[in-house]
Each structure stands twice: as structure tokens, then as C-alpha cells.
Amino acid sequence: MSKIIELKNVNKWFDKFQALKDVNLEVNQQEKIVICGPSGSGKSTLIRCINRLEEHQDGQIIVDGKEISENTKDIEKIRAEVGMVFQQFNLFPHLSILDNCTLAPIWVKKLPKKQAEEIAMENLKRVQIADQAKKFPGQLSGGQQQRCALARALCMKPKIMLFDEPTSALDPEMIKEVLDAMVDLAKAGMTMIVVTHEMGFAKEVADNMIFMDEGRIVEKAKTKDFFNNPKSDRTKLFLSQIL
Amino acid sequence: MKFKLAKPNKENLNTFVTLGSVLILVGFFDFLANTFLDLNFTGFLPGGLSFLTPIIIGVMGLHFIRIEFSGNRLLDKINTNFNSSNFNAFLSLLVIFALIKYIPPILNWFIFDADFAGNTKQDCTSGGACWVFVKVWLNRFVYGMYPDTEQWRINTAFFMLFALVGASFFVPAKLKKYLLIFLLFVYPIIGLKLISGGDFGLEYIETGAWGGLSLTFIVSAFALILCFPVGMFLALGRRSNLPAIRYTSIGFIELWRGVPLITVLFMSAVMFPMFLPDGTYVDKLIRVLVAITLFEAAYMAEVIRGGLQALPKGQYEAAKSLGMGYWRMHFLIVLPQALKLVIPGIANTFLALVKDTPLIFVVGLLELAGMVNLAKTNPEWLGMAMEGYVFAGLVFWVICYAMSRYSQNLEKKLSTER
């Protein structure tokens, strides 16, 4: 399998605070990676660097063969291929669910409206909220909103999906419906990087686990090894606290 | 339960309500007799106290009828709305008395004692408002010094505008787009050409002759339409990452916000021509329009910037993550939401703009208030300032109130949060 994302010695600072320290990571096509770690450990920063919502100051990030830096002219093109789901959903409240899903395909990928709507309905069906297409985000439950956000990202037909704590802002009852949609997506062969605390999901879906602490990748291992046989003490401590 | 005078209670409901009502009636009677019949029953009391007796008696009465859960709907309603505490009872009475005292004289001046018939100042004999003045001058108030025989041109232009705007509410959404483009880009040229003339066999009428309400509309409409996009780009510019654009925007906004409009208008009229090469001439009205537009654009920019700042960062990030560049992100995601948030502020700026238009008198252009100013100095109509300004005020109020209502409707219509 071929590499689709590559990070080499990535460093990032927020003023004086170093958020990422020498991060190295390779992600293959169709690989599913779950990143976990305590809050403030740089998990979100890491995946936000991959579509340059955050800028890294040092090192290389290569996504789908293109290096991301301040010189990247067509950062929009890379972002169009990298879908992202946020903790706070970030749906566009002034647009209906359907328009949320068709906006970027129409204006960024220049699809005809009709085709964009077909794709949108397909994806809304996939996450099982097709019947809500005409409503506005404010009328939906959190779980429905997050599934809509997932559908919106999928409408761009991304090669990679990034998830930034997708279930952290949800009621416990709604977490499952979002995770189910993500499991389906994983089974369909999407390349996924997921920041989450849902270890059940990780065990079911992830090929590899990454544990981060204080801006470093402390441990990267096959999922089974990670849970059954963690190498570093810090990982053991973390797992003992959340499992 | 024992009967206590200071503590009205439900057991003695009827007693207290009777007592209270009588006191309230006495208070009102005293007040009415005082106001309308010039009878002062309490004149023997020292000055201040005598003046306050109706309110004191009334508040006492209201205190007696303040009974919780009386079971009487009317009484409960009065108590919750006018009479929830002694202080509120006092305020309620004060307001009611003030209304009764001051509304009749105002109505008398406006309508009952006013003169409507006749054509000269001498026809105004009854002491109220002399609306004859407004009637005689109405033509000038609306058209300024525009020649009488050519006024159909202004009428046609405005009739066209209202017809187009009206039509835009009813035509299907597909046509609406073209209609709006026509309204914003084609119609202003047609309208201006029609009013100024000079071509197509229409007599040229210089802008100095324009005036009155029609000029108010022309100046307001152009400034409104133009200041909005300028303000929008200034607001975006002020938040730009590019230092050149950011500092230019900041400088521009702070410069115009820091100068009084009247100074700006003077400059546009007096100073600006000095910088022009000899022989070039920019029409006074155009200079004024540019000045007002830029002035209001600076305010508009700050209003819109408020909306931009109120948007959560997540909206920007979501737009970026979908591959949108700066312009798509702003025009599809950010501005629609930000502008909706600041509709009240935009309406505020627009209203201020309309009410600022009278200031163009400093360059010799006389819109409605300016024409009133001129008319009241006419030797045959001296002393009519009150009527003129009240009329101008009412017209401005109607325009501004309509705009304010429209903005409120727009807010409701665009609201998607439920």
C-alpha cells in the first residue's frame, strides 16, 4: 500500500509554547489511525496541520504527494481532498442541511447543481438523515448535526478523512449513531485519522494506534499490541485511567 | 382575620376595593378639575403639596386595591401591569396624568385649531397650526427649484423605481435576480438621466435646481447603495492578513470616522475643486454624494466588522476545510451570517444617513429640511418655522420608521435558528 500522508520532523509553536515536537508519521492509503492522549498533548494540532488549519514552523508535511508549506499556492486543492469533521460540528447555520452538503461541491468542484444534490442525498442517506435534508442545522439534534457534518465532508469525495474529537460534544446517547456512521465509512475503505477517546471504536476500527503526550508521539503500535501490550509507562498509565 | 388598614387582604376584598376606587376617583377628579376647569380644591395646602395631591391620593388608592390573587381578573390585570408596587403605582399615575394633560393641547394645535383652507398667511386665524403654509409650499418641498413644467420627469423616475421595487417582491425567484441587477446597475443611470436631462430632447436641469424631498431620496438612495459595498470591503480589509491593505483600511476608516460630516461636505465643496486641474469640473451633487458615501462607509465598515468578529472561528475553519478560498469563504459562508447578525446596526447606519442628508445645505443643495428653511424666511410667510419643521420631521419619521420596520421584518425572515 502506498503512502498518502507523510510527516517528517514536524515542529510547531504557539508563541513560546511548543505544541508539536519532532513528529514523524506515515499514513498509508486506506489505513485507519486513532490518536489518543491527554488534553493539550497536541492531537488536534497534529491533524489540523495536515490540512493547514494550523501552520507548522519546521519539518515537512506531504499530503498526496504535495508538500504543504506557506508556499503552497493551491492549498485549497489539497483541502478539497482532505475532509474534516470537527468537535463542534461547524455546520453553516444559514443553510439547509442539503445546501450545507451541496455548497462546496457546487462552488469549489464546480459540479452542476443537480449532480451535487444527487451526491448530497446519497451521502445523507448513508448517514441516515436523508429525511432531514430540508431542515436547518438549528433544528437537528447534536448527533444528527454531526452526521450531517460527516456527509458534508464526504460530498467532496475526499481521499482522506480527519476527525477531531467528533463525539466529544455529544450526549452519550448520540455518540453511538455517529460512531456507527464512522465505522461504516471505515469499512468502505476510507483513509481515516481519528482523534478520539472512544476506545471501543478504536479497537473495532483502527489499524494503528498513536499515543501522544506533550507534543510528542510517545507510542505508535498495532491496535492489538497497543491495548494488550503497551510499551511505555506513560501509555500504560493513560490506558489504566480511561479503560 | 382582623381588619388592618395598611395591609389590604383578600378577606376584606370589597371594603378595600371600594375604598381604593373612591380614593383613585378622587385623585382623578382633583387632577381633571385642576387641569381643565382651573379649580384648585387643595389650594389651601402649601404649594408643592397642593400640586402633588392627586398623585398622593391616587397612589393611596392604588395601594388599597393591591391585593394578591383577588380572584377578580380585571383587578389582577391592573395590579400586575400598573400597580405592582407603590413606586410603580406612582410612575403609572404620573404617566397617565402627563398623557391626559399634554395630549389634548398637542392635538388641538395639530388638528382641531389648525387652519387648512386658504392660500395666504392671512387665512390662518384660529391660533393652531397653519397648514396652509405647507399646502402652498408643498410643491417646493417635494421638487425644490425644479421647473414646474418638467416635474413629470421626477415623477416618472420615482414611479419607475417604486414599480420596479414593488415588482421585485412578486416576480418568481428566477426573474428576481435580473430585476435586482437592473435596479442596482441600470436603473440609477436611467433615473439620473431622466431627471438631469440634457439628452434625448430633455431640457438640461442643473443639480442646483434639484431639491426638496426628491433630492432627499436621490441622495439617500445613492449613498445607501454605494456605502454598503464600500463598507463591506473596508471591513474585510481591516481584518486582512496583508499589512498594506489592513493599514490602508484602518487609516481610511479612522480618518472618516474622526471628522464631522459637515466638515467633509465643506471640503468636498470648497477644497476639492482646488486640487482638480483647471477646466475640469465635477458636479456639486456628485461631490456631495461621494463625500457622504465615504463617510457612511467608514461607519458601515465598523458595523460589519462587528458581525465578522461575532462569527465563531469554526465557521471559517469549516469553510477552509472544504477547500474554499478567501472570496468563496467570505461570500458564501462568512458575510451572509455576519450581515444577518448586524442588520440592526446596518439599519441604524442607514437611518443616520437619511437623517444626515439635510447637512448638504452647506454646499447650497436644499433637500426637504433645507427647503423648509428657505420657505420660512420668505417675507410673506414669516413665523411659520414650527409648521415647516414639524412637517419635515414627520416626513423623515415616516421614512425612517418604514426602514426600521423593514429591517425588523428582514431579520425575522432571515432567521433560521428556532
Q: Chain B neighbours among A 131-150 (CB < 8 Å)?
A: 136-139, 149
Nearest-by-CA chain B residue for A155: B322
| Cβ partners under 8 Å of residue B134, min gap 6 | B141, B387, B388, B391
Evaluate whether A174 touches A89 at the Cβ level (below 8 Å).
Answer: no
Q: What is the mean pLDDT of residues A87-100?
A: 92
The C-alpha of B32 sits at a distance from chain A's nearest C-alpha, in angstroms, of 55
Does the pLDDT at position B67 exceed 90? no
Stretch 303-362 of chain B: residues touching chain A, C-beta under 8 Å = 312, 314-315, 317-325, 328, 332-333, 336-337, 340
What 3-state class would DSSP assign to A6? strand
- Highest mean pLDDT among A43-52, B102-111, B140-149, B360-369 belongs to A43-52
Domain residue limits at B397: 131-146+205-414
Cell output for A211 = 499515543
Does any domain span residue B183? no
Which one-letter amino acid corresponds to residue A243? Answer: L
Task: Note the pLDDT of residue B159.
Answer: 87
**Domain count within chain B:** 2
CB contacts under 8 A, A 157-176 vs B, are: none
- pLDDT for res B202: 73
The top-scoring range by mean pLDDT among A207-211, B121-125, B144-148 is A207-211
B69 assigned to some structural domain: yes
Of B260 and B381, the one with more pLDDT: B260
User: Does B161 fall in a domain?
Assistant: no
Residues 6+ apart with CB under 8 A from B137: B371, B375, B381, B388
Query: What is the average per-residue pLDDT within B112-127?
Result: 77
The CATH number covering residue B280 comes to 1.10.3720.10
- CA B46/CA B177 separation, integer angstroms: 73
Residue B104: is its pLDDT beyond 80? yes
Rounded CA Rg of chain A: 18
Q: Read out DSSP for A128-175?
A: T-GGGTTS-GGGS-HHHHHHHHHHHHHTT--SEEEEESTTTTS-HHHH
Residue A18 forms contact with B (CB below 8 Å): no
Of A190 and B135, which is predicted with more confidence?
A190
The pLDDT of B298-304, averaged and rounded, is 93
Is B416 close to A86, i.e. CB distance below 8 A? no
The reply to whether B240 and B378 lie within a common domain is yes
B392 occurs within a structural domain? yes
Which pLDDT belongs to residue B1? Answer: 45
Asked if the model's pLDDT at residue B78 lies above 90, the reply is no
Residue A82's DSSP bridge partners are: A160
pLDDT averaged over every residue in chain A: 90
Q: Which long-range contacts (CB under 8 A, 24 or more apart) does B255-264 make?
A: B255/B298, B256/B294, B256/B295, B256/B297, B256/B298, B257/B298, B257/B299, B257/B302, B259/B295, B261/B291, B261/B292, B261/B295, B261/B356, B261/B359, B262/B359, B262/B362, B264/B291, B264/B292, B264/B294, B264/B295
SS3 B111: helix
In a domain, residue B241? The reply is yes
Question: Does residue B40 sit in the same domain as residue B142?
Answer: no
Q: Is residue B170 part of a domain?
A: no
Query: Which residues 72-91 in chain A show a CB within 8 A of chain B?
Result: 76-77, 79-84, 86, 88, 90-91
pLDDT at A67: 87
Domain assignment present for B218: yes
Contacts of B343 (CB under 8 A, 6+ apart): B407, B410, B411, B414
Please indicate, yes or no, whether residues B136 and B32 belong to a single structural domain of this protein.
Answer: no
**pLDDT score at B2:** 53
Chain B residues close to A107, C-beta within 8 Å: 324, 328, 332
The answer to whether B214 and B142 are in contact (CB under 8 A) is: yes
State mean pLDDT over A37-55.
90
